[in-house]
Each structure stands twice: as structure tokens, then as C-alpha cells.
Structure 1
């Protein structure tokens, strides 16, 4: 999402949350059920820009809800493909069990799959392997 799109989304969300219907629905704890019935989401932040425009039309003019557009992707906290390939390249053919044990000693997790590590843990594992192999000095 570009900076302009992000700015536009924030503006639309602000207009929606300042609308009288939204305030009244939130007071009665009906806002989430309203959104779920109309857009199959429990929060406005999960809607696309087109859906936010449509939601404003629904609130102001009584238009029909239209579900369309690309919804924003949730941020993925998992390790990147580059980190995974770096770990596998550095570790070489030492075996998966040894790598699991090394991960356990380094980050306190014994992962069944390396993809279950997050970015920070993957960085720690990479640095640990580099120190172990003597590629980096402390």
C-alpha cells in the first residue's frame, strides 16, 4: 500500500468512526455485528478502500453494501524466504535435528519447521550460526 493510499484509508476510517450511526452502534455494542452482517468482517480496518467508500455511502445515503476490492493484507511476522535460505545455506548438511537443537539453544524454541520462527528469532539463529562458524567475530 502506498503512502497516499494509507493516508486515504486513515481519512475514510476517521469519517466512518465520527459518523453518528457508528457512535450510536458502538454505544449499544452493535457495531461489530453490523459490520459482520454487511461485510463479513468484525473491524473496518480489514475492509478495502472501495468497501470503505461503500460503507460511507451505506451510512449516509442508505445504499446497498457491496463487497469488492482487495482487502489489506495482514502483516506476516514469520521469517522471510531470504532468512530461511540463509539459515539452510549456512547450516549445510549438518542435519535437521542438529539445527533444531541449535535453535533451542539460541532462541529457546525447538521448531518442527523452520518457518515457525519469526523474523527476530531467525536473525538470532543466523547470527549464532555465523559466530559458530567463525564468519563473524564478537
Structure 2
């Protein structure tokens, strides 16, 4: 997340937490239930910028209130990755010595796929004329994990996303060489 996104997110959180409807829901100890029924989240801290914007619009009466909105996992991953980076910086400052390779690998495997990686995977699959099922089968082979729907790929680790992207790029490169001959 950029500095501007962090500032905008904090502003949204401030506006939500000072809203009169929020205060009323919070006083009745129903805020967690309200968030869970709409976004499957326990706290506003877990929500993406788009979800925070929608929450504020609902509280202000500018958007229709509904339940079971589609969670924005790609946006939430940006927040999770930012928290992981922050923890990593704090550990690095405390340890003044360089990290071992195992610690670096563990820190990178904790990160989640970014929205750009997810979109790039979909673009590569489209270039290969893969449908959703073919892409899921390929992801299962590459990551050795089981996925049922394409939305589950929005929750994979950054390392798994890199493996999928590398595999798709190699297939495209191979097909281009084959067509050139």
C-alpha cells in the first residue's frame, strides 16, 4: 500500500468510527455481527479500502444495505502484506545482524498474493485460452494445494502465486517457440 492509501484508509476508519449509526450499533454490542454478516470479517481493520468505502456509504445511507457482500480478498491481502512488512522491519531493527535464508523464506511465504499478481495470472490464463477449471487444475499441480473455485486463488501465498505465474509464462514461451518453427 502506498502512503496515500494508508492515509485514505485511516480517514475512512475515522469517519466510520465517528458515525452515529456505528456508535449506536457498537453500543448494542452488535458491530462484530454486523461486519460478519456483510463482509465475513470481525473488525474494520481487516477490511480493504473498497469495503471500508462501502461500509461508510451504508452507514451514511448512500448505499443499499445487504448481507453477504463478496469479500475483496485481493484488497485485504494488501493490508496483510503491509502488516507482515512492518513486523519484519521491527524484527530487523531489533536484530542488527543479517537474517538467515530460512527466516527470509518464511517471511516471504507469509505474504499473500497481490492484486496485480492475481490479475496477471488471469491474463496469462486468458492468453492460453484456459477456462476457470483448467486454471484451477494448473494451480493445483503447481502449488500442490487443492482449490475448488477461482476466488480461492485470491488467498494463496505470494510464493505460490509466483510458481503459478512462472509456470504459465513457461507454457506461453514454449507455445510461441513451437509456433515459430
Q: CA deviation at 1:13?
A: 0.4
Deviation at 1:45, TM superposition (A): 1.1
What's the CA shift string for 1:53-101, capped at 9, x where partnerless? 1111111124245433511116234778x722288xxxxxxxxxxxxxx
State the superposition RMSD in angstroms. Answer: 3.0
Aligned with 1:41: secondary structure? coil
Alignment partner of 1:60 is 2:76:
no
Unpaired stretches in structure 2, ≥5 consecutive residues: 93-97, 108-181
Pairs aligned (count): 89
1:83 aligns with 2:99: yes
What secondary structure, in the 3-state scheme, does the structure 2 residue paired with 1:12 have? helix
Question: Which structure dedicates a bigger proportion of its chain to helix?
Answer: 2
Which stretches in structure 1 are left out of the alignment for 5+ residues? 88-113, 117-138
Partner of 2:33: 33
TM-score where L is the length of structure 2: 0.42
Deviations for 1:29-56, whole angstroms, at most 9, x for unmatched residues? 1011100111100111110001111111
How do 1:58-137 residues align onto structure 2 when only pairs under 5 Å count?
58-61=58-61, 62-64=63-65, 66=69, 67-68=71-72, 69-71=74-76, 72-73=79-80, 75-76=83-84, 77=87, 83-85=99-101
Q: Using the TM superposition, name which of 56-65 and 71-80 deviates more.
A: 71-80
Q: 1:17 matched to which residue of 2?
A: 17
| Alpha-carbon distance between aligned partners in 2 of 1:2 and 1:25, rounded to the nearest angstrom | 31
Matches for 1:37-56 after TM superposition, within 5 Å: 37-56=37-56
